[in-house]
Structure 1
Amino acid sequence: MKIGIFGAGHMGGAMIKGWVRSNSISPTDILVKGGKGDTAKKLKQNIPFNITDNLEDFNQVDMIFLAVKTPIILPVINDLKNHLNKDLPIISVSAGVPISLMQEALGGSYPIAQAIPNTPVQINQGITGIVYSQSISNLDKIAIHDCLSLLGIVEEISEDKIDIFGTLAGCGPAFVDVFMEALGDAAVLHGMDRKLAYTVAAKMVSGSANLLLDSNKHPGELKDGVTSPGGTTIKGIAALEKEGFRYATISGIDTIMQSYK
């Protein structure tokens, strides 16, 4: 499988790292069109993928991912479509540009999709939501799904849910990072070495998440299994609730969603 990708910044770079880490995609089978920055060149110092400025070269790949900033998605599509000699599936991994606008730019029958991955794809533990245009074939769907599955879980979603999916899956890691940092600070306050504190926090978060997935239990049920009557854990939770822990989390997600309107 040969992959073309425009952009090797935070998300594009994470995807490239994940594909190579999967050992299923050779770096030489990845063709990158970098932007004005040097992110692609810097990443290439560690991963020997191919870089090109010639759009004609993308006729050699099996699918093309667009990991560029939202404002330049349509300009990139308009430039690219004039250089392709076949209907290669194009997958945007940037939010904010509806499939209808991309479809209009490419033509009604062009195979196109929109995918929203998150940064853990770089260690093959991401989750990607994807929306397919009606014109895309089952064979193209299978190929795209197989490619993205190398990076983690893939969920097909409806287009009206793509913003909340991207907010929860894409922005959520930053929320968790802040939470782990705060846990680490609390542990350091009580004398723990900072490196060990972050390790304990990360393993705790990872283990708790895997327990939720493996047990298929409600998060509240798992929480109840740790909170003994009158015990230390429920006292800690009560303190978090007093400070508006849940409301702050919900408000954070809601604030992001409101910014899309």
Structure 2
Amino acid sequence: MKIGIFGAGHMGGAMIKGWVRSNNISPEDILVKGGKGKTAKLLQQDIPFLMTDDLNKFNEVEMIFLAVKTPLILPVINDLKKYLTQNIPIISVSAGVPVSNMQEVLGDTYPIAQAIPNTPVQINQGITGIVYSQSISNLDKIAIYDCLSLLGIVEEISEDKIDIFGTLAGCGPAFVDVFMEALGDAAVLHGMDRELAYTVAAKMVSGSANLMLETKKHPGELKDGVTSPGGTTIKGIAALEKEGFRYATISGIDTIMQSYK
């Protein structure tokens, strides 16, 4: 499978790392159109993918991913369509530009998708939400799914849910990172080595998440299984609630969603 990708920054770079790490796609099968920054060249020092400024070269790939900033999506598509000699599927991985807007540039029959991955794709443990254009063929759908599934779970969703999916899955890791950092600081406050504190925090978060996924239990039920009456855990939870832990989390997601309006 030969992949073209515009942009090798945080998300584009994470996807490239995940594809290569999967051992299903070799660096030589990834064609990158880098931007004005140095991120693509720096990444290329570790992963010897192909890089080009010649847009004609993208006629040689099977699908094209756009991992550029939101304001650049439509201009890049407009430039790219002048060079493509066939309907190679184009997948945007940026929020804020719906499939319908891309179709206005490429036409109603062009195979288009919008996918929202998150940074854990770089270790093949991401989750990606995807919206396909109505006219896309099943063969193109399968090819895109197969490519993205190398990076983790892929969920097809409706276009009206893409923003909340991207907020929860895409921004959520930063919330978890702040939470783990705070847990680490608390452990250090009580004498634990920082490296060990971060390891324990990360394994605890990972294990708790996997326990919920595997048992399919409600998170409240799992919480109840840890909180004994009058015990230490419920006292800690009460302290978190006193400081508005849940409300702060909900408010964080809501603030991001409001920024899209």
Taking every aligned residue pair, what percent have the same amino acid on both sides?
88
1:183 aligns with 183
1:218 aligns with 218
TM-score, normalization: structure 1? 1.00
2:206 aligns with 206
2:25 aligns with 25
Shift of 1:135: 1.1
User: Quick one: distance in 1 between partners of 2:149 and 2:46?
Assistant: 23
SS at match of 1:45: helix
1:237 aligns with 237
Q: Equivalences for 1:26-45 in 2 at 5 Å?
A: 26-45=26-45
**Structure 2 unaligned spans of 5+:** none
- RMSD of aligned Cα (Å): 0.3
Shift of 1:7: 0.1
2:58 aligns with 58
Aligned residues: 261
Question: What whole-Å deviation, never above 9, does each CA across 1:121-143 have from its counterpart, x for those lacking one?
Answer: 00000000000000100000000
User: Quick one: distance in 2 between partners of 1:97 and 1:238?
Assistant: 42
Asked if 1:132 is matched to 2:115, the reply is no
User: Quick one: distance in 2 between partners of 1:128 and 1:196?
Assistant: 31
Which residue identity lines up with residue 50 of structure 1 in the other structure?
L
Shift of 1:253: 0.2
Asked if 1:155 is matched to 2:184, the reply is no
Asked if 1:7 is matched to 2:44, the reply is no
SS at match of 1:154: strand
2:121 aligns with 121
User: Quick one: distance in 2 between partners of 1:61 and 1:152?
Assistant: 22
Which residue identity lines up with residue 180 of structure 1 in the other structure?
M
Which residue identity lines up with residue 24 of structure 2 in the other structure?
S
SS at match of 1:24: coil
User: Quick one: distance in 2 between partners of 1:112 and 1:129?
Assistant: 14
Which residue identity lines up with residue 115 of structure 1 in the other structure?
A
User: Quick one: distance in 2 between partners of 1:85 and 1:260?
Assistant: 35
Shift of 1:231: 0.5
User: Quick one: distance in 2 between partners of 1:188 and 1:81?
Assistant: 55
Which residue identity lines up with residue 173 of structure 2 in the other structure?
P
1:227 aligns with 227
User: Quick one: distance in 2 between partners of 1:253 and 1:26?
Assistant: 37
Runs of at least 4 residues off by over 3 Å: none
Question: What whole-Å deviation, never above 9, does each CA across 1:155-207 have from its counterpart, x for those lacking one?
Answer: 00000000000000000000000000000000000000000000000000000
Which residue identity lines up with residue 106 of structure 1 in the other structure?
L
TM-score, normalization: structure 2? 1.00
SS at match of 1:108: coil
1:79 aligns with 79
Shift of 1:107: 1.1
SS at match of 2:221: helix
Shift of 1:98: 1.4
